[in-house]
Structure formats: structure tokens, C-alpha cells
Amino acid sequence: MVKLSTRGWFALTILFSLTVIIIIFATTFNQETIGYILSFNILFLGLAILFRLIALGLWGVRIQLMSGSLGYLVKLPYCVNMVLAGLLAGTITPGGSGGEPVRVHELYRAGVKIGDATAVVIMERVLDGIILTVMGILLMILMTRYIETIFNPALLILVIIAWIFLISFLLIPVFAIKYPERTKILLMKFVNWLVPRIGRFSASHQSIAQRADHEIDNLFESMSRFTGTAWRGLFFGGIVTALFWISEFLVASVIMMGLGLSPYILESFFFQILIAIIMMIPLTPGASGVTELSTSSLYALIIPSGMIGIFVILWRFVTFYLNIILGAVAGLAIFKRELKYQKKEEDLGETG
């Protein structure tokens, strides 16, 4: 089996995305496409980027609120920076899952216990799932006229798989809170299976297992606190999560307005909930290719065919390629900080 480096996965992600975008653009290009390009109002692209930045800022606010409810004070700029750094990691991992370990690590660096940091990140995903589920149900009721048109067999299968994947993930913390001992046994079996296979930790298997045992207890305690004494973090985090997704979904509507179309708020929100759920399926790195295909298929219902390629390019620039730019800047800041930590530890080791 060929093992890809981080650069390899990154290149593969970009290749998937660009290839599908080129295919979409080529197959939807017609004599009206050039006119659509020339008439696009660039100010709306700036507004779309602004909504995206607001969404990322709200994500940072959510982390700060949830960490604060557990007794930690993490500054907002630091929270936003970890969100941006996680975006870059998410572009090279299936389902965008690479951002979670980055946020856990950054919270740990800010003085948050690993178990507490993990609980915050897991509950973030849970809140996303709850809000998307509620919004999806409400919009499906309002958008019944589109249901038969949208759900062709291939897309229906993807959506069903995505909903199963999402609901299964939501059940994990519920199971952990209700049956902590059973869940801990399963997690420790996984740790004991994984640790011996990581060569560089071969001399400290027992200490890692003991640390994992301790942090799993912290994790379960923190998750229980979110449903008890730290309920404010979950409640206000849920409100911010809803605002986050609203800001995120408005990006597409703003781009359509820049193309001279109606914003189609309800339709666009409904489509993007489906896309967001499909993106959670770990099919390709960063869900590249899959996202572009599902977006073009859905928005073709409300956007002229000659405009689809332009819309997908602009929307993916704001929601995907901008992630790479912002994530690279944030990641560089973290890299420089880690070098300072490493140098400081080396200096302490020499003097100690």
C-alpha cells in the first residue's frame, strides 16, 4: 500500500476538487456563461467572504463559551486561531475530521485538561448535529415541493448514509454518559491495541495506557458536566452554533445575488444542510470532489445551467480554498510557537 505524506494528501485534495470543478464548468459552459462572468458584482464576493469570517469568529466564540463553562479562560483570538488551523488539517482528512485533534491540542496548550478539551470538541460536533438535524427537519417541511425532484436514487443513498453516520455520532456521547464503564472498557481496548503499534512510544506503553485511563475519566466527567453544572456552555454554545450555520449558509445566497439571482434563502439553506451532512461521510480528503458534485446537482434546480460552473467556483473559493489560505497563516503562527516551546524545553533540560 502506498503511504502518502501530508503534502501528498494535500495535493490529492486539491486535485480532486479542481478536477471536478473543471468538469462541472466545462459541461455547463454555454454562450451565456461569459456574460454571467462579466456581470458578476465583485462586492458580493467580498460580502460572502465577510459572512464566512463571521461564521469562523462565531466558531471561536463557541469554543470560548464551552471551555469557560468548564472553568477555563481561553482568549477569543486564540480560539479563532485554533479554528483556522483546524480548517487546514480538515482539507486533507476524510470528512474534515483532522480539525478536531488540532483544536484538542490547542486547548491543551491553553491549559485545558486533555479530557476536558476532548469533551469540548466532541460536544461541538454534537451541537452541529443537533442544529443541522433541527434545521433539516424544519426546512424539509417547508420544502416538500422539492423533495421528489431532489432525491434521485444516487443522492438519496448518500443522504441516508450521511444521516445514519450523523445519528450514530450523536449517540456516542449519549452512550458514554449513560454507560460510562462499558464505553471506557471499549476505549481502553482500542488504546491498548493502538499504542503497541506506534513504534516511537514503544518504551512507555504502560504510562500511556495509564494516562489514557485518567483522561478518559476526565472526558466522561466533563461530558456529564455539560448536561449538569456546565449546562450554560451547552445552551449558549447551541445558540452560537445556530448563528454559525446561518452565517455559513448565507455565503451561497450572497454569491447568487452577485450573479444577479434571487438569494433563494430557504432553498439554499435546505441544499446546504444536505451538502453539510454528505460532507461528513469520510469518502475523500476534505470531502473534495463529492462536495462539488452534490452542490452542482442541487443548485442546478434553481440556477441557470450556464451559471452553475461559476457559482461552484466562487462558493468553493470562499468555503474551501479560503480555508487553506487562512489555515496556513494560523498554522504558521502555531508552528513558530511550538518551536519556541521546544527550544525552551531544551534549554530547561540543559540547565536542569
The answer, yes or no, to whether residue 1 has pLDDT greater than 50, is no
Q: 20-36: b or e for each residue (b if 16 or more CB lie within 10 Å)?
A: bbeebbeebeeeebeeb
The answer, yes or no, to whether residue 147 has pLDDT greater than 70, is no
DSSP 321: I
* 296 vs 303: CA distance, rounded Å: 9
Weakest-pLDDT range from 169-183, 229-243, 301-315: 169-183
Confidence of residue 261 (pLDDT cuts 50, 70, 90): very high
Confidence of residue 203 (pLDDT cuts 50, 70, 90): very low
CA distances from 327 to 19, 129, 248, 286 (A): 22, 24, 17, 13
Grid coordinates representing 314? 466562487
The answer, yes or no, to whether residue 209 has pLDDT greater than 70, is no
Q: Which residue has the higher pLDDT, 256 or 96?
A: 256
The model's pTM: 0.82
> Which parts of the chain fold into alpha helices (H)?
6-28, 33-39, 42-69, 76-90, 99-109, 114-142, 144-150, 153-178, 180-194, 205-226, 231-258, 265-279, 290-299, 305-316, 322-351
The answer, yes or no, to whether residue 69 has pLDDT greater than 70, is yes
pLDDT at 346: 66
Share of the chain above pLDDT 90, in %: 32
Residue 4 phi/psi, 5-degree rounding, is -95, 140
pLDDT at 351: 61
Q: How many CB atoms lie within 10 A of CB 155?
A: 16
Of residues 155, 158, 173, 259, the one with CA closest to residue 220:
173
Weakest-pLDDT range from 34-38, 233-237, 332-336: 332-336
pLDDT at 347: 65
